[in-house]
Chain A
Amino acid sequence: MAVNIGKKIWKRGDLFIWLTGAGLALSLILTTALLMGIVVNAFGSFWPEKIQILNLNDGSKVLGTQVGRESIPNYGTPDERKETYRVQIKKANRDIYNSDFVWIDEDKIKIIQFPEEVVAVTRREWGYFFGYIKEVLDGDQVIARGTRESLKVLQSLLPEVTAKNKKIEKKEIGAINYKLERVRLKLKRLNLKGISEGPEVDELNQEIPELQSKYSELEKKLHELRESQTGKVVLQTIEGREKTLPLAQVLDINNPNSFSLLDKFGYFLKSINDFFWDDPREANTEGGVFPAIFGTVLMVMMMSLLATPLGVLAAFYLREYARQGTMVSIVRIAVNNLAGVPSIVFGVFGVGFFIYFIGGSIDQIFFPEALPTPTFGTGGILWASLTMALLTVPVVIVSTEEGLAAVPKGTREASLALGATKFETTWRVVLPTVMPSILTGLILAMARAAGEVAPLMITGVVKLAPSLPVDGLWPFIHLERKFMHLGFHIYDVGFQSPNVDAARPMVFATTLLLILMVILLNIAAIYLRNRLRKQLTASAV
Chain B
Amino acid sequence: MNVRTTKPGTESTKPVRAFFGKSLVQRQFADSMARGVVTTGGWIIILSILAILFVIIAEIYPLFKSPTATLISEFKAQGVPLAIGMDPYHDKAYTIERDGIRFYSLQEKSFESKPDLPDWGSAQVTGVSPSTKHFPVLGLSDGRVYPINVEFRSVYNSESQRTIKPQLKSESPIQVRTDGTPVTLLTHIKNEKGYQIAAQSGPGKITLIQARLRKTMMGTTRKTVSQETLTIPAEGEITAMVFDEAYNSLLLGTSFGQILRIDMEDSQSPAQLIGATPKPEIGVSNLNYVLGGYTLVVTDSEGHVNSFQLQKSQTGKFTLKKIYEFQPHNNPSGLFSYSLRNKGFLTGSKEMVRLHYGTTGESQLEFPSQEKSSYTAVTLAPKFDGILTADNSGNLRRWEMENPYPQISLTGLMGEIWYEGYEGPEYVWQSTGGTDEFESKFSLVPLMFGTLKGTVYAMFFAVPLALFASFYVSQFMKPDLKRIIKPVIEIMAALPSVVLGFFAALVIAPQVETFLPGIIIMPIVVTALIVIALLAYELFPGMRFLAKDGREIYLLIFITLLGGSLSFYGGTLIESSLLLGDHRVWLKQVLEVTYDQRNALVVGLAMGFAVIPIIFTIAEDSLSNVPEHLRASSLALGATPWQTALNVILPTASPGIFSAIMIGFGRAIGETMIVLMATGNTPVMEWSMFNGFRALSANIAVELPEAPEGGTLFRILFLAAFLLFAMTFIINTLAELVRLRLRKRYQGL
Listed in ascending order, the chain A residues whose CB lies under 8 Å from chain B are: 5, 8-9, 11-31, 34, 37-38, 73-74, 81, 309-311, 313-314, 316-318, 320-322, 331, 333-338, 340-349, 351-353, 356-357, 390, 393, 397, 418-419, 421-424, 426-427, 447-448, 450-454, 457-458, 487-488, 490-491, 494-495, 500, 504, 507, 511, 514-515, 518-519, 521-523, 526
Contact = CB atoms under 8 A, between A and B. Distances in A.
Contacts of A340: 663, 666-667, 670, 728-729, 731-732
B498 A487 contact: yes
Contact of B697 (A342, A353, A522): A342
B37 interface: yes
A314 B560 contact: no
B28 A352 contact: no
A424 B26 CA distance: 12
Given A15-B531, A340-B728, A24 B553 contact: yes
Nearest to A450: B496
Contacts of B559: 22, 25
Contacts of B732: 336-337, 340-341
A427 B38 CA distance: 12
A341 B729 contact: yes
B226 to A, nearest CB: 48
B264 interface: no
Contact of B494 (A18, A22, A27, A451): A451
A102 to B, nearest CB: 19
A522 B494 contact: yes
Nearest to A346: B52
16 contacts: A17-B476, A19-B527, A24-B556, A25-B557, A31-B489, A309-B41, A317-B39, A317-B42, A331-B46, A341-B729, A344-B697, A397-B45, A422-B35, A453-B498, A453-B673, A522-B490
- Which 4 pairs, one residue from A and one from B, show the smallest C-beta to C-beta distance? A342-B670, A13-B642, A317-B42, A23-B468
Contacts of B677: 491, 494-495
Contact of B581 (A29, A81, A318): A81
A522 B487 CA distance: 9
B50 to A, nearest CB: 8
B492 to A, nearest CB: 5
A457 B494 contact: no
Interface in B120-149: none
Interface in B661-715: 663, 666-667, 669-673, 676-677, 697, 700-701, 704-705, 709
Contact of B502 (A20, A494, A519): A494
Contact of A19 (B31, B530, B538): B530
Contacts of A74: 581-582
A20 B471 contact: yes
A19 B58 CA distance: 51
Nearest to A379: B705
Contacts of B521: none
A17 B534 CA distance: 11
B630 interface: no
A299 B721 CA distance: 24
Given A20-B468, A27-B465, A317-B41, A37 B503 contact: yes
Contacts of A321: 35, 38-39, 42
B557 A29 contact: yes
Contacts of B733: 333, 337
Contacts of B51: 349, 353
A159 to B, nearest CB: 35
A15 to B, nearest CB: 6
A393 B51 CA distance: 14
B31 A423 contact: yes
Contacts of A454: 497, 672-673, 676, 697, 701
B123 to A, nearest CB: 50
Contacts of A342: 669-672, 697, 724-725, 728
Contacts of B717: 348
Contacts, number: 328
Nearest to A26: B560
B263 interface: no
Contact of A73 (B38, B489, B582): B582
B642 A23 contact: no
Residue with the greatest number of chain B CB neighbours at <10 A, chosen from A338, A351, A447 = A351
- Max count, chain B CB within 10 A of own CB: residue among A9, A16, A352: A352
A523 B491 contact: yes
Contact of B670 (A17, A345, A457): A345
Contacts of A450: 496
Interface string B28-56: 10110111011101111110110110011
B715 to A, nearest CB: 10
A313 B465 contact: no
Interface string B422-451: 000000000000000000000000000000
A251 B535 CA distance: 64
A85 B194 CA distance: 63
Contacts of A15: 530-531, 534
A30 B511 CA distance: 13
Contacts of A13: 640-643, 645-646
B542 interface: no
B701 A21 contact: no
B603 interface: no
A24 B31 contact: no
Contacts of A27: 465-466, 469, 489, 492, 612, 616
Interface string B95-109: 000000000000000
B89 interface: no
Interface string B482-514: 000101111110111111111101110000000
Given A18-B552, A317-B41, A348-B717, A419 B7 contact: yes
A521 B490 CA distance: 12
Contacts of A522: 490-491, 494
A317 B43 contact: yes
A458 B466 contact: no
Nearest to B33: A423
Contacts of B491: 519, 522-523, 526
Nearest to B606: A34
Nearest to B646: A13
Contacts of B666: 340
A78 B526 CA distance: 32
A253 B672 CA distance: 42
Contacts of B44: 310, 313-314
A479 B49 CA distance: 24
Given A310-B44, A419-B8, A21 B556 contact: yes
Nearest to A339: B732
A37 B507 CA distance: 9
Contact of B700 (A30, A344, A418, A423): A344
Contacts of B663: 340
Given A13-B641, A421-B28, 15 more contacts: A20-B469, A20-B471, A23-B464, A23-B471, A24-B469, A24-B556, A29-B560, A34-B609, A316-B38, A344-B700, A419-B6, A458-B704, A514-B496, A514-B498, A522-B494
B38 A317 contact: yes
B59 interface: yes
Contacts of A8: 538
Given A337-B736, A344-B697, A21 B553 contact: yes
Q: Which of A19, A335, A356 has the most CB of B within 10 A?
A: A19
A14 B547 CA distance: 11
A452 B527 CA distance: 37
A358 to B, nearest CB: 11
A440 to B, nearest CB: 12
B532 to A, nearest CB: 11
Contacts of B37: 313
B576 A337 contact: no
Contacts of B58: 352
Contacts of B729: 337, 340-341
A236 to B, nearest CB: 34
B20 interface: yes
B206 interface: no
